[in-house]
Structure 1
Amino acid sequence: MTRRPNRFEGRTALITGSSRGLGLLIAHRLAERGCRVLLCARDGDRLAAAEHELRAAGADAASLPCDLTDADAPQRLLTAVHEHFGRLDVLVNNAGVIQVGPLDTLREEDFRQAMETMLFAPLRLTLAALPDLRASAQGTLVNVSSIGGRVAAPHLLPYATAKFASTGLSEGLRAELAGTGVSVTTVLPGLMRTGSHTAARFHGRPGAEYAWFAAAASLPLLSMDAERASHAIVRAAERRRAEIVLTPAAKLAVRLHGVAPATTVRLLGLTARALPGPGPRPRHSVAGSEAAAESPLPTAVTALGDRAGRRFGEPRP
Structure 2
Amino acid sequence: MTARPHRFANRTALVTGSSRGLGLLIARELARHGARVMLCARDADALGRAERQLRADGADAVALSCDITDPETPRRLLDAVHERFGPLDILVNSAGIIQVGPVEALREEDFRQAMETMYFAPLRLTLAALTDLRASSAGTVVTVSSVGGRIPAPHLLPYVAAKFAAAGFSQGLRAELAGMGVSVTTVLPGLMRTGSHTAARFHGRPGAEYSWFAAAASMPLLSMDAERAARAIVRAAERRRPELVLTPAAKVGVRLQGLAPATTARLLGLVARTLPATGDRPRHDVQGARAAKQSSLPAWVTALGDRAGARLAEPRPRTDP
TM tier relative to shorter chain: over 0.9
Report SS of the residue matched to 2:15.
strand
Quote the Cα distance in structure 1 between the aligned partners of 2:311 and 2:280.
Answer: 38
Partner of 1:40: 40
Q: Does 1:310 align with 2:310?
A: yes
How far did residue 6 of structure 1 move? 1.2
Quote the Cα distance in structure 1 between the aligned partners of 2:242 and 2:31.
Answer: 22
Q: Does 1:294 align with 2:294?
A: yes
Partner of 2:52: 52
Q: Which residue identity lines up with residue 315 of structure 1 in the other structure?
A: P
Q: Does 1:22 align with 2:22?
A: yes
Partner of 1:243: 243
How far did residue 177 of structure 1 move? 0.2
Deviations 1:222-279 (A, max 9, x none): 0000000000000000000000000000000000000000000000000000000001
Quote the Cα distance in structure 2 between the aligned partners of 1:260 and 1:2.
Answer: 48
Partner of 1:148: 148
Quote the Cα distance in structure 1 between the aligned partners of 2:46 and 2:290.
Answer: 20
Report SS of the residue matched to 1:249.
helix
Partner of 1:281: 281
Quote the Cα distance in structure 1 between the aligned partners of 2:236 and 2:293.
Answer: 39
Deviations 1:4-51 (A, max 9, x none): 411101000000000000000000100011100000000001000000
Q: Which consecutive aligned stretches of 4+ in structure 1 deviate over 6 angstroms post-superposition? A: none
Count of aligned positions: 317
Partner of 2:129: 129
Quote the Cα distance in structure 2 between the aligned partners of 1:60 and 1:3.
Answer: 22
Please give the residue correspondences for 1:1-317 in structure 2 after superposition, counting only pairs within 5 Å. Answer: 4-317=4-317
Quote the Cα distance in structure 2 between the aligned partners of 1:314 and 1:290.
Answer: 13
Quote the Cα distance in structure 1 between the aligned partners of 2:183 and 2:3.
Answer: 24
Quote the Cα distance in structure 1 between the aligned partners of 2:107 and 2:273.
Answer: 20
Quote the Cα distance in structure 1 between the aligned partners of 2:255 and 2:116.
Answer: 29
Report SS of the residue matched to 2:301.
coil
How far did residue 3 of structure 1 move? 6.0
Q: Which residue identity lines up with residue 191 of structure 1 in the other structure?
A: L
Q: State TM-score, norm by structure 1.
A: 0.99
Quote the Cα distance in structure 1 between the aligned partners of 2:277 and 2:4.
Answer: 54
Report SS of the residue matched to 1:151.
coil
Name the Cα RMSD after superposition.
0.9
How far did residue 110 of structure 1 move? 0.4
Quote the Cα distance in structure 2 between the aligned partners of 1:183 and 1:36.
Answer: 19
Report SS of the residue matched to 1:308.
helix
How far did residue 2 of structure 1 move? 6.7
Report SS of the residue matched to 1:302.
helix
Q: State TM-score, norm by structure 2.
A: 0.98
Deviations 1:139-195 (A, max 9, x none): 000000000000010000000000000000000000000010100000000000000
Report SS of the residue matched to 1:301.
helix
Any gaps of 5 or more consecutive residues in structure 1?
none
